[in-house]
Amino acid sequence: MSGFHIVVCGSIVPDPLQTLEPMQGPTGWALKNEMMLPAVLDPWAGHALYEAANLAANVPNSKVWLVSLGPKAKLQQVMMSVAQKAPFDLVVLDGPAGGFTEAFETAQALAGAIEGIDGLDKSKLLLFGGWQSASRGASATLQIVGELLGITDQFQGVDKITPEGDGFTVLERIEGGAYLESSCAGAPAVLGWATGSLPEPPNNPQIGMQNMQKNMPAIQRAPATAVAAEGVDFKSVELPKQVRETRIVKDTPAQDIAKELVDWIRG
């Protein structure tokens, strides 16, 4: 095996512990005080990045790139911590990272950035990303990027990849908690990751310093990228409502409680 060229698509999202409030501004829908909210790497993209780094470490002559579309000031803050997790080269597009953009426009921008990566061999390309997203949760962006790059072997909901010869086997999530095991003859291929099988790597300051030395210039020279939702209009946007119904009872037989729970679930 001559190694893989692994490109991970992943952007930043507001810290999930923050309260998010949608609002309509002069340029369309956005989150209230979005630029003030602390940001993190999209969790699904994080799984994809850690799996990519692990695969590259176990397959000689492999290399990892992280391609990210988002506000470069926010990306710089997030990369200070992400850079300590795994070695990668960073490719940055300076644009919006919110959930009110259109999947096709986002995919076009990402595909263009990938095409422009110096030294990338598309015959060795594995395109990684999140199966879902905490912002662009359309489950379509990564698939469209693959199509634009001419990659038709695509796997979604991936939890494990095992190299075998020049190819690999893939475990994809399917209904009922089961897995579909597939064999792929080799690159190029698209893999949309679920949670994977690896824990978050510990911080390694040495890797962080090496990453930031080469990635800081990439952030500074990130080209401005206009990504919107041309022709798409959101009639209304609201957060899911929390519903909690509590009833306190005493001396109720367990059988009656179980029956009531079953009736509630069926209803």
Q: Residue 57 — pLDDT band, cuts 50, 70, 90? A: very high
Beta pairing partners, 13: 40
Q: Could you read off the pLDDT of 36-48 as tens digits, one per residue?
A: 777 888 888 999 9
Domain 5-220 CATH superfamily:
HUPs (3.40.50.620)
- In terms of Cβ atoms closer than 10 Å to its own Cβ (0-12, 13-18, 19+), residue 246 is exposed
Say how far apart CA 143 and CA 155 lie, in whole Å.
9
Please give the residue that has the higher pLDDT: either 38 or 220: 220
- Residue 169 or residue 166, greater confidence: 169
Average pLDDT (9-31) is: 75
Average pLDDT over the chain reads 85
State pTM to two decimals. Answer: 0.81
Of the pLDDT bands very low, low, confident and very high (cuts 50, 70, 90), residue 120 is very high
Give Dmax (Cα) for the chain: 72
Q: What residue ranges do the domains of the chain occupy?
A: 5-220
Percent of the chain with pLDDT over 90: 33
